[in-house]
Amino acid sequence: MITTSLVGALMPGYAAYAASKAAVEMMAKILAKELKGTAITVNCIAPGPVATELFFAGKSEETIKRIEDASPLGRLGEPKDVSQLVGFLAGDAGELVNGQVIRVNGGFVI
Give the ranges where the chain is alpha helix by DSSP (H). 6-9, 15-34, 53-56, 61-69, 79-90
Q: Which of 10, 11, 17, 59 is catalytic?
A: 17
The yes-or-no answer on residue 17 being catalytic is yes
What does the alpha-carbon distance between residue 32 and residue 15 come to, in Å, rounded to a whole number?
Answer: 26
Nearest C-alpha neighbor of 102 from the set 58, 84, 92: 84
Give, in order, the Cα–Cα distances in Å from 40 to each of 5, 57, 62: 24, 36, 43
- Residues labelled catalytic: 17
